[in-house]
Amino acid sequence: MTRPVSLRWAGDQAGALDLLDQTLLPSRIEWIHCTDVDQVVEAIKSLRVRGAPAIGIAGGYGLVLAAAEAARDGLTPEAARAHLLARAETLACARPTAVNLRWAVERCLAVLSGLAADLPASMLGATLLAEARTIHQEDGRLCAAIGRHGAAVLPAGDILTHCNTGALATGGDGTALAVITTAWDQGRRFRVFADETRPLFQGARLTAWELVQRGIPVTVLVDAAAGHLLKTGRIAACIVGADRITASGDTANKIGTYSLAVLAAAHGVPFFVAAPSSTFDLSIDSGDEIPIEQRSAAEVLWPLGVAAAPDGAEAYNPAFDVTPARLIRGIITEHGMIEPVTRERIAELLGRGRVG
Ligand code: MRU
């Protein structure tokens, strides 16, 4: 069973962040070696590293690089902390929708507040590295728990998923994809239908790649074929990941998720979301408050580098949409499934299960 790894830290606090360049998959496997914050920010913005938990982990390691920058520049302890704060903000803003990014960066920064103000940048870096590693390892455990809880509730039959929510998108086996792979490893047999996920094809390029490596049967469909497929009655459940879930359960995920949820409801197919508690943003209630990243026109007009529309055409390219809680059968977290998806159940489960 091969599980791809999307990011790894090389060395000590003076080391570097290695990222598998996901923009090149499945054709080429190339790693990029990030030694400063700007490289990490560029990699997050251009989706070389992507998926809500994975960009959070990258953000944490990015702060270690910020400390290394301060050490290289010989900054005083005070100036080093100011540098870290500024770089933290740059990292947290690299992509606006997935709350895991800001969550991880702020969690790393928070460990510095308990340290003496006169510590040099190198020592701040060592503390930041320990916290980033903890977040990375924890994510692996959260994915495993999500996989177990989700496999227990996943109905028998073929599964439809959207975007990529696997090992590439996390520090472990994934979220929605971990549910699928865990069920498969338990001996359940089914076929996975993967929406290609326009415009950047995370479903076709990445989810299908992960499933083929694991020997799990996968069929890629154009996003627009989902309604027709659901109408055939072949799909037992839809399961997707999330980039931000509000206190009421409204869920931002890859563009096309909302359409899929509406179609699933129209055909009586259960629609599940799988996400760790770090994807919840309990500071907001309505999905309307979630910032939706707008991306470049080129992604739509030049998919995979080929002109798909005439010069002069404009593009509408929101990277995410929001699925209202009422369309979600259950949200599978590391603590178990939230069902029904209500404010009360969310507060109850996260309140009970949250560690620290
Ligand atoms: O733009 P992307 O590829 O980062 O979008 C990723 C998604 O929408 C995933 O479904 C989500 O981040 C969950 S990943 C476990």
Strand order in the sheet with 330-333: 218-221, 192-195, 158-161, 235-240, 271-274, 330-333, 336-338
Tokens of 166: 């696997």
Query: Quick one: 102 and 161 in the same domain?
Result: no
Q: Is residue 149 part of a domain?
A: no
* H/E element, 194: strand 192-195
Alpha helices in the chain (DSSP H): 37-45, 52-72, 77-92, 99-112, 121-153, 176-185, 208-214, 226-231, 257-266, 297-301, 343-353
Query: Quick one: 95 and 169 in the same domain?
Result: no
Of the residues 89, 114, 141, the one at which a domain ends: 141
SS3 content of the chain, % helix, strand, coil (to 5): 45, 15, 35
Q: Is the CB of 253 under 6 A from ligand 1?
A: yes
Beta bridge partners of 273: 240, 331
Long-range contacts of 198-204 (CB under 8 A, 24+ apart): 198/222, 198/223, 198/255, 198/256, 198/300, 198/303, 199/299, 199/300, 199/303, 199/317, 200/47, 200/299, 201/303, 201/304, 202/50, 202/163, 202/164, 202/254, 203/161, 203/162, 203/163, 203/164
331, 338 contact by CB (below 8 A): yes
Q: Is the CB of 218 under 6 A from ligand 1?
A: no
What is the domain count for the chain? Answer: 2
For the four alpha carbons of 184, 186, 187 and 190, in that order, the dihedral sign comes to negative
Of the residues 78, 109, 141, the one at which a domain ends: 141
- 305-316 pLDDT, tens per residue? 999 999 999 999
Q: Is residue 339 part of a domain?
A: yes
Q: Is the CB of 278 under 6 A from ligand 1?
A: no
C-alpha 164/C-alpha 264 separation (Å) is: 19
Query: Quick one: 198 and 123 in the same domain?
Result: no
CATH number at residue 36: 1.20.120.420
Structure letter (DSSP) for residue 27: T
Domain membership of residue 261 as a residue range: 154-352
Q: Is residue 1 part of a domain?
A: no
Of the residues 141, 175, 190, the one at which a domain ends: 141
Query: Quick one: 84 and 170 in the same domain?
Result: no
Query: Quick one: 80 and 217 in the same domain?
Result: no
Which of 19, 207, 253, 323 has most ligand 1 atoms within 8 Å of its beta carbon, as the pocket-test mutant? Answer: 253
Instruction: Count how many Cα atoms sit within 13 Å of the Cα of residue 62 in the half-sphere of its side chain.
Output: 33
Q: Is the CB of 91 under 6 A from ligand 1?
A: no
Closest ligand 1 atom to Cα of 162:
10
Query: Quick one: 217 and 81 in the same domain?
Result: no
- 312-349 pLDDT, tens per residue? 999 999 999 999 999 999 999 999 999 999 999 999 99
Query: Quick one: 93 and 228 in the same domain?
Result: no
Query: Quick one: 190 and 329 in the same domain?
Result: yes
Per-residue model confidence (pLDDT) at position 351: 84
Task: Using alpha carbons, select from 54, 63, 88 the residue that is nearest to residue 243.
Answer: 54
CATH number at residue 184: 3.40.50.10470
Query: Quick one: 235 and 345 in the same domain?
Result: yes
Ligand 1 centroid from CA 220, angstroms: 17
Q: Is residue 68 part of a domain?
A: yes
* CA-closest residue to ligand 1 atom 10: 241
Which of 7, 21, 50, 238 has most ligand 1 atoms within 8 Å of its beta carbon, as the pocket-test mutant? Answer: 50
Q: Is residue 16 part of a domain?
A: yes
Query: Quick one: 132 and 174 in the same domain?
Result: no
Query: Quick one: 94 and 168 in the same domain?
Result: no
Q: Is residue 2 part of a domain?
A: no
Q: Is residue 65 part of a domain?
A: yes
Which of 165, 320, 321, 332 has most ligand 1 atoms within 8 Å of its beta carbon, as the pocket-test mutant? Answer: 165
Q: Is residue 146 part of a domain?
A: no
Query: Quick one: 103 and 161 in the same domain?
Result: no
For the annotated catalytic residues, the residue numbers are 243
Closest ligand 1 atom to Cα of 293:
1
Q: Is the CB of 161 under 6 A from ligand 1?
A: no
Distances (CA, A) of 354 to 111, 256, 276, 305: 18, 30, 10, 44
Q: Which residue type sits at 241?
A: G
Ligand 1 centroid from CA 1, angstroms: 23
78, 267 contact by CB (below 8 A): no
Q: Which residues of the chain have pLDDT under 70?
A: 1-2, 352-356
Q: Is the CB of 22 under 6 A from ligand 1?
A: no
3-state secondary structure of 212: helix
